[in-house]
Structure 1
């Protein structure tokens, strides 16, 4: 029957008001899929069923789930999602076309059955096909839970020749090539199809309209085998046209086109395979990275097509957002696998979404609209590393790269080395990971600069690299004494006004708990060797590895895994309750990849770390953000060494696994750039030190120049050896928008100390600063001050 394409009247409206509060699907997913054609639909599977479907971009989930139920005689019905006894397969690791086969679990009390479900994205249309086939004395019932336009739960559902749902300019049509022998629209929790099955053992209600609110659509499929189509459009007629035309052309045509496109994409892949398991997971990981790229906004790679603990929340953002860090690391993995064009699209989007001052937001929608707007310095530096990697490989330069690099390095130079947030998005201060990425970007990006800017970028990189240990390396602590090491790199040093490395760090998600910065460790230091700033055999690195292995490593049935840092609160509670702003941090498989890179660079075989990561994968090959490390809690679906309720898949985890596997073969990390490696392969000359509010110092090593900097103009009131020979010097504009006064080596010769304060447009700063100058013995002589 041809629909009228208008909302039907209220004469047969479902009761229930707005319904239960909506949620997303569980992040315990089996698989993800999409086509590589012009269509803009992404689908995920979980517990053997279709759940979240994204359209028209990876940042916009429109469906909570579509469940299939088997209805038999005498009011008996089977909830396949709760039975959870099924097998999942794909034609090949790089062909994401999942088929799920459901069969009774051992001890099932009832007639035998077999239901196969094949998920096929239409490459030409914004439509998704589900081909099903049932064997056994049952009928198939379908219950669809739309969640259109995630900004509001006010969906309307109706039945009119097909199943429709609508919110604003988002419309879903569900049609089939078999008749619907019974169909109804309902309100979740009151008049939905599940309530009908629970009350009557079959579908009996026939409401033609439900909502606005949290709605669901149900239908009994009139044959044991057939195909269901989901069409998405801005109008009901458009959604119907897409669904029906996809059914008319048929699932075989869509499947053939998908196979051809994915096979073509996979041809350049060059991935080693130490064994079948690791080789298959690597091929699939490359496909997972590609599947997370948007087609409405090419180059936008979201962190995950999932929402952590999604079945307990209606959070708008989830992980289907673009984090510059995650996207860049995915690009490096794709480059390592010889998918250069994919990485170029990611860089092109960076050029388009850079903010006027040079930074990128903490994360953003695929469209480029910011979501969280925090500042993370590494996320501004990472795109520079991507541009440098492409240049190093001889790839033609993406238009606009020079301007992008210059503005990004300007932001890094003005605001670093401190960052408002570390890479875990929790704390301000100086972090080894962040500084490593920033230093590498300043060096690698300097090739796009000229003259004084280029020299300043390199001088700044040398200074930060040299001073990093004074900021983030501690010695003589109780932990160092306990483990018999000289010292170790801490997770981060708080801002100087909070005590720096001698201060306290607030543990986010732990109800205001704090810990001394000197006692907080993480694998963040691992990027010092990864990017070529330290040797993996450096005593400081090796000692920190010992500390990390002692504090953060934990054995599980999947093997040894690592925590983000001691005291982490981002994860489920010990009793299995989902993270709700507090909790206890679990184990992260991607960190085994970081530990494996350290092993590789120290001359060890990282194969054991790759094997551990692989054992954490879901049956469908998805790598989770976190793995459960407590006792088994079946009621929460938690098993030790297996995925927790956090995000799955996590693009970052798949990228880290893929990079480590390829690095094992090539002998070097994907992120290691020749320009950075060469600059720090041997000791550098003494760096010029820069005094900033964020990184002050009280002792200047011998033979150094001293530069006083500020982001705004100032007058330096300076004296020597107890305010002798006082002078006032106007700051001059330097590179990257900073203002500075440079006290050259000649000016410091023979001086024992420098005293200074500054006058800004608003007045004197009200603080005197004192810097001792080491290694000066000659008589004090007035020196020449320079402002540039």
Structure 2
């Protein structure tokens, strides 16, 4: 009989507050997560494809029933770099023990269960979201199995079921049956094309279930039956063997708390590795605030920035094979013009359409560091990836359409730092030759010396309140006026902030990459403001907010982010602050310890921690994870990089020796690169002016107020640019305007650059 209530209520995902994540390695292509003591999102056949919301349990006897995730009284027993997880739920007169074992040979997750308590029975609740969404699924019961399918994706839950039922969520699902009738009374055979759910009654109190995935229901049944036939103990031994074969690093250090977090962090990185697309790691096997939305993207997407952060963590640990795999994957998914999509599925399909300059610069830094460590030839197959990415930076920079938080356009110290290091390093490490190398170095020198012009303010109200001369801002608009004006805040409708008040930790990357010294007074004064305005001291430690008026996070009442909200504190920023502490001679351990303590049950590091008064009914406790992504790979990578640098007494793994040497010497630009979005207003007596454009042009110019006018055709420059090189020599001023031959038009605007 068909269930009633089609198509069900609007679907959502599970909460992103994960307890643990796991996979079998081997041939298996199943990744699972745990939250509130039950299985929630399971990903198959790649890390970018969630296929179910959750698999929970009701325990019941005559006159009593409880859903264990809502009771929320359980103990998690999980070991890093080990596939088996045990969860023990305890409630009124019952104990439910679950053991999760992923099969390394099949796309199957085995679930052993033991229910203790007189008169109790166990009822699994399964919410499929096949096809990456809760819409359009069909569920049915057949031959003692619970099945679901959509298109060419199917799952089967097998076990010793006495009966089962399919329903529409919110109307005829199993939870509604218990809520309305106090027992399992419905046995609907089918629920088609909707937001569906399945429930079954298990025979006995001890047994094993198999959750299997395949392209057909028959295939899922075959895989599940095969796994059950082999047995949980045998598969557990095989799964343990696959994990024991990985080259796990021997972590230094004797502090048990910090060491444990390093082991968990490495486990998180290894679990996130995709096997369908080697080298791809999604940002998180989670959907931020997923229990309030049906987001088809979530964080199960690849960001080149986050992926490079992970690769640098692998490099810090001496894991060269993993790093090489990430580099070759990045080369495979790079766009023809040299950039990477804002984010993309593991197969390379773009998702969001934004552009961030740092996401083109960071893969270059990774390749250069690999070269510095003797693991890569500048003439090898990855040279083209580096050259294309550098070309994109050279053509499109220095203004980024989005900052590293994917929100606002402008000039950011973080983006500028990684761009300067990428441009100069590509030449210094031999990936560029001849005119391209000379041009990249010239451009990097120019951008480096202009960082303060673009992003350092003096004498603001913030400065006067603390008694410092000035500070770096996290972002400033392009144009001739420098860091002035106001910037619209994302996720805060109608809120704009004066540029001088836009604090952030982006400037710390100037030190991390060796472009500025830790003791530079400008760095020190900015840090004083950041520690005063963005630092949050919580019961679990020291954390930092991204910037003032941030809107990405829960609302003040604890309700989920819904496009607006209030930004919370980020543990990964604690790691960035800790790296500066290491470089400046401070003790970084308080920052490491904060990251280790601002975690959930399984010590997974979240994107954000709650930084307000507790709201226990919503699971929001000061210094503990919010509903944002958990775990966040970037945060775990930052922990590993800081942990390793501290114990090995090394500098930041991202730092390139030749780049640092060049800018420690104070390399002065010989040429100022003039671009419309960052015009040059004044030259020093020793500098020349290179007027640049991304398309052919003729420069109509004159001197000291248009005297002696002349026309000069632009020459082709490297990387598809065009330019006119001017030497002011004895002139005090040059005036010019543009004519575009291909379009047969004048720009209609005059420009002026003065000397001295």
Global fold match (TM > 0.5):
yes
**TM-superposed deviation, 1:396:** 4.3
**TM-superposed deviation, 1:697:** 2.1
Equivalent residue runs for 1:67-466 within 5 Å = 67-72=56-61, 74-90=62-78, 92-104=79-91, 110-111=92-93, 113-137=94-118, 138-151=120-133, 153-161=135-143, 162-176=145-159, 179-267=160-248, 269-397=249-377, 400-446=381-427, 447-466=430-449
The match for 1:6 is none
Tell me, yes or no, if the aligned pair for 1:270 and 1:338 is still in contact at 8 Å.
Answer: no
The partner residue of 1:754 within 734, 739, 750 is 734
1:603 aligns with 2:592: no
Structure 2 residue matching 1:583: 3-state secondary structure: coil
Of 251-260 and 701-710, deviating more is 251-260
CA distance in 1, matches of 2:84, 2:721: 54
The match for 2:551 is 569
1:731 aligns with 2:714: yes
The partner residue of 1:483 within 440, 460, 466 is 466
CA distance in 2, matches of 1:735, 1:156: 56
Structure 1 residue matching 2:347: 3-state secondary structure: coil
CA distance in 2, matches of 1:290, 1:743: 53
Of 356-365 and 254-263, deviating more is 254-263
TM-score, normalising length: structure 2: 0.97
**TM-superposed deviation, 1:303:** 0.4
Tell me, yes or no, if the aligned pair for 2:610 and 2:621 is still in contact at 8 Å.
Answer: yes
CA distance in 1, matches of 2:237, 2:708: 83
Tell me, yes or no, if the aligned pair for 1:155 and 1:211 is still in contact at 8 Å.
Answer: yes
Tell me, yes or no, if the aligned pair for 1:43 and 1:50 is still in contact at 8 Å.
Answer: yes
The match for 1:785 is none
Pair 1:96–1:432, CA change in 2 (3 A):
farther
User: How big is each residue's C-alpha offset from its partner over 1:315-339, in whole Å with a ceiling of 9 and x where there is no partner?
Assistant: 1100000000000001100111122
**TM-superposed deviation, 1:538:** 0.8
CA distance in 2, matches of 1:683, 1:615: 41
Pair 1:65–1:151, CA change in 2 (3 A):
closer
The match for 2:29 is 40
Structure 2 residue matching 1:59: 3-state secondary structure: coil
CA distance in 2, matches of 1:258, 1:673: 39
Structure 2 residue matching 1:103: 3-state secondary structure: strand
CA distance in 1, matches of 2:156, 2:244: 30
Residue segments in structure 2 that go unaligned for 5+ positions in a row? none
Structure 1 residue matching 2:483: 3-state secondary structure: helix
The match for 2:40 is 51
CA distance in 2, matches of 1:634, 1:280: 27
Tell me, yes or no, if the aligned pair for 1:567 and 1:585 is still in contact at 8 Å.
Answer: yes
**TM-superposed deviation, 1:271:** 2.2
Of 646-655 and 668-677, deviating more is 668-677
CA distance in 2, matches of 1:760, 1:705: 23
CA distance in 1, matches of 2:264, 2:255: 14
Pair 1:274–1:593, CA change in 2 (3 A):
farther
Of 159-168 and 439-448, deviating more is 439-448
CA distance in 2, matches of 1:152, 1:642: 29
CA distance in 2, matches of 1:152, 1:188: 10
CA distance in 2, matches of 1:169, 1:592: 44
The match for 1:636 is 618
1:698 aligns with 2:686: no
User: How big is each residue's C-alpha offset from its partner over 1:419-441, in whole Å with a ceiling of 9 and x where there is no partner?
Assistant: 00000000001110001011111
CA distance in 2, matches of 1:32, 1:454: 45
CA distance in 2, matches of 1:350, 1:148: 28
TM-score, normalising length: structure 1: 0.93
**TM-superposed deviation, 1:671:** 0.8
**TM-superposed deviation, 1:686:** 3.5
The partner residue of 1:529 within 497, 511, 518 is 511
User: How big is each residue's C-alpha offset from its partner over 1:529-572, in whole Å with a ceiling of 9 and x where there is no partner?
Assistant: 11111111111111111010011011111122100001100001
Structure 2 residue matching 1:523: 3-state secondary structure: coil
Pair 1:628–1:197, CA change in 2 (3 A):
same
The partner residue of 2:9 within 15, 20, 37 is 20
**TM-superposed deviation, 1:129:** 0.9
The partner residue of 1:623 within 605, 609, 619 is 605
**TM-superposed deviation, 1:96:** 4.3
CA distance in 1, matches of 2:153, 2:80: 33
Tell me, yes or no, if the aligned pair for 1:358 and 1:410 is still in contact at 8 Å.
Answer: yes
The match for 1:786 is none
CA distance in 2, matches of 1:151, 1:754: 60
Number of corresponding residues: 748
